[in-house]
Chain A
Amino acid sequence: MYLNEEQQAILNGSQGETMAKVMKTLVMFGDAFGAEKMVPVTSKHNHLVTSFGLKVMAPVYDLMQQLLDAGVKSGQTFSVDPRPIDKNVPANFLQNLVFNKLMYTKQDFYEGQLKKLGLLSDDAFTCACYLDQVGNKPEKGDILSWAESSAVVYANSVLGARCNRNSGIMDIMGSIVGYVPYFGLLTDEGRKATWIVKIETTKKPEAQLLGSAIGMKVMEDVPYVIGLDKWIGSELDDSACTYLKDFGAATASNGAVGLYHIDNLTPEAKELGKALIAEGAKEYVITDAELERVKANYPVIWKDPDATPKLCFMGCPHMSLQQLKDWTDKVEAALKAAGNKTVLIPTVFTAPPKVLEEFNKTDYAARLKATGVITSYICPLMYMNNPLCKKMPVITSSNKLRTYTSARYYTDDEILAAITKGGK
């Protein structure tokens, strides 16, 4: 890889041994992909994936401490994924014991490290950092060193920024030296679609189910989706962005998609159209039957598949302000229609702290609270990431949460019915 004078000097130790190791890490990472050079990180902020002070992740905190001890700092401030625990979220005595005494014992220590390294603010903990209220929304063409699969795919696809699917730790390395290796989704060639996905459904496809189907099919390739604008429009308004947020998270977690193009909607597809499709691209047709097939094949790993759900999580990735408002209306109306006053299953809606702050200023907050739904800034995945929750029948409309935990996936309509009318 070609390194300029400054980069080579860092690699040779001009800024100390630790900085040299950081540069070596990035160079080796780039070499694995044939990167010919490093390019400057141009976004205002970074986003890190590691938000949790898990006792077992000691090697991560040791590495962070090496950086701090060497006086190394991130060149950018950064947001970070959601906190793992929140006392507002229902948990029994045993769960609280496991969370606080066994699992997340390093939380305060790690948050201290994050502050020293350049945390944007005390409430910059969310996976949906690109939402307006959070304040970490890159510009089109910006080069990022982000991690968090759902944020990376959103930044690339919806915002037109350029970012590879960086891993945790690798994310902050780019911010520290201010450069990232130039390969993959940073390049024009790497952004070309090698799959054409045709949407031929008779109704609007469920975002997280469609994303799951595409992710499992194309894996880490770039899909060019034709026919979705019929259902979600040709403007990136709040509704379309929310849909793509949830769709993208499922493509990234059920597969490894870092970028998708939606014909006649996302920025590069609007600019370049079908010229973005690489020669020899494969084809995948989405029909109602195909989505049904994908959903029917999800494994059910509850001990009792017919168990009554004990908890419902919505908001993985975190919900937007409009989503919270829309769901307030939907839950209220469905409860009224069913003759119930409050939800029948303990239900948690998760959103960024800054979004919750805005939501709490509206009259929707009191209305949602009256339905019994709890709001939280938590990461549902981190909450469920223990053997106690593995035995718990949890439902969700998040395909990401389904992938990583024992939570069972239902469509939004099915979730609404379950929490307002009962049933499974």
Chain B
Amino acid sequence: MREFKGRVVTPGTTSAEAVVTTQGFNTLASMQMALQFGDKQTKCGDQNNPELNGKPLCGKALCLPQTIGSTTGGLVLYCACAMKRQPACMLFSEHIDSLAAAGAVLASVWCEDINMPVIDCLGEEFINYVKDGMTVTVKEDGVVVVD
């Protein structure tokens, strides 16, 4: 078990199973098809991301360095939250990028009853340590416990 301390972008607590990508997470490529065609598990559809392609994202602790790609990324994330098909939390090893931040903030301000804690700046050690299937617990102060 290890603890990592990050920065709280949007607050909340949760515990979920980790899905991990060590490359940039392309939100549009990953989520668009799943959201459009009713995939309740929000399986990742990004052909360029072999670590995540085909894996469910909904309800998982999504561990990533940053998001990349189209500027629809933030609104796709917002839609996932509004439709209750979002990850349980998003845990960034690096500083959050502008698209993911937009999605998280939009969900926080405009969606009711949303709980998707977003923590960034968890460090390279975090993304190297956490592996698919590990249990991740997010505390209110930005502490992330990986078990």
Interface residues of A in 304-339 (CB under 8 A from B): none
CB of B53, distance to nearest CB on chain A (Å) = 9
In the complex, the answer to whether B106 meets A220 with C-beta atoms within 8 Å is no
Which of B71, B74, B98 has the most C-beta atoms of chain A within 10 angstroms of its own C-beta? B71
Near B by CB (< 8 A), chain A positions 212-228 give: 219-220
Q: B105 contacts A256, CB within 8 Å?
A: no
A220-B66 in contact given A103-B36, A404-B29 (Cβ < 8 Å): yes
Tell me how far the C-beta of B18 lies from the nearest C-beta in chain A, rounded to whole angstroms.
Answer: 22
Bound CA span A252–B98, Å: 13
A-B interface pairs (CB < 8 A), number: 131
Q: Does chain B have a CB within 8 A of A168?
A: yes
Whether A167 and B103, one on each chain, are in contact in the complex, defined by CB atoms closer than 8 angstroms, is yes
Given contacts A33-B101, A299-B48, A403-B29, contact A170 B24 (CB under 8 A): no
Using a CB-CB cutoff of 8 Å, which residues 23-52 of chain A contact chain B? 24-25, 28-29, 32-33, 49-50
Interface-central residue, B26, B98, B108, by most chain A CB under 10 Å: B98
Given the complex, which residues of B lie within 8 Å of A66, measured CB to CB? 110
Q: Is the CB of B24 within 8 A of A219?
A: yes
**A253: contacting residue among B35, B36, B69, B102, CB under 8 A:** B69
Q: Does A370 contact B (CB under 8 A)?
A: no
Q: Are A56 and B79 in contact (CB under 8 A)?
A: yes
Residues of A near B83 (CB, < 8 A) are: 56, 59
A interface footprint on B51-78 (CB within 8 Å = 1, 0 otherwise): 0000000000000001111111111001
The proximity string for A residues 76-110 relative to B, scoring 1 for CB distances below 8 Å and 0 otherwise, is 00000000000000000000000000010000000
Q: Which residue of B lies closest to A48 (CB)?
A: B71
| From B28, B29, B33, B99, residue with most partner A Cβ within 10 Å | B99
| Complex: A256 Cα to B28 Cα, angstroms | 12
Interface centre among A147, A164, A167, A301 (most CB of B within 10 A): A167
How far, in angstroms, from A152 to B74 measured CA to CA in the complex?
Answer: 15
Known: A167-B102, A255-B24, A387-B33. A25 touches B71 (CB 8 A): no
Q: CB < 8 Å: which of A33, A390, A406 contacts B98?
A: A33
- In the complex, whether A244 has a CB less than 8 A from a CB of chain B is no
Instruction: Check A375 for interface membership: any CB of B closer than 8 A.
Output: no
Supposing A21-B110, A220-B66, A404-B29 touch, asked if A49 and B72 sit within 8 A by C-beta, the answer is yes
Interface residues of A, CB < 8 Å — how many?
Answer: 48
Chain B residues 91 to 145 lying within 8 A of chain A, measured CB to CB, are 96-99, 101-106, 108-111
A250 to B35, CA, bound (A): 25
In the assembly, what is the distance between CA of A421 and CA of B103, in Å?
46
Contact of B69 (CB < 8 Å), options: A28, A29, A149: A149
Residue interface mask B12-44, A partner, CB < 8 A = 1: 000000000000101011001101110000000
Q: Which of B47, B71, B105 contacts A28 (CB 8 A)?
A: B105
Which residues in B have their C-beta under 8 angstroms from that of A386? 33, 36-37
B108 to A, closest residue via Cβ: A28
Q: Which residues of A contact B9 (CB under 8 A)?
A: 32
Distance, CA A67 to CA B106, complexed state (A): 14
Q: For the complex, would chain A's binding face be called helix, strand, loop or mixed by DSSP majority? A: helix
Partner of B71, one of A29, A32, A149: A149
Contact with B26, one of A49, A57, A403, A406 (Cβ below 8 angstroms): A403
**How many angstroms from the CA of A390 to the CA of B46 in the assembled complex?**
12
Which of A58, A169, A255, A404 is the one whose CB lies under 8 Å from B74? A169
A-side contacts of B105, CB under 8 Å: 25, 28-29, 32, 170
Chain B residues within CB distance 8 Å of chain A = 9, 24, 26, 28-29, 32-33, 35-37, 47-48, 66-75, 78-79, 82-83, 96-99, 101-106, 108-111
Chain A interfacial positions (CB closer than 8 Å to B): 21, 24-25, 28-29, 32-33, 49-50, 54, 56-60, 62-63, 66, 103, 147-149, 152, 164-171, 184, 219-220, 252-253, 255-256, 299, 301, 385-387, 390, 400, 403-404, 406
Of all A-B residue pairs in the complex, the 3 with the closest CB atoms, nearest first, are A167-B74, A59-B82, A167-B102
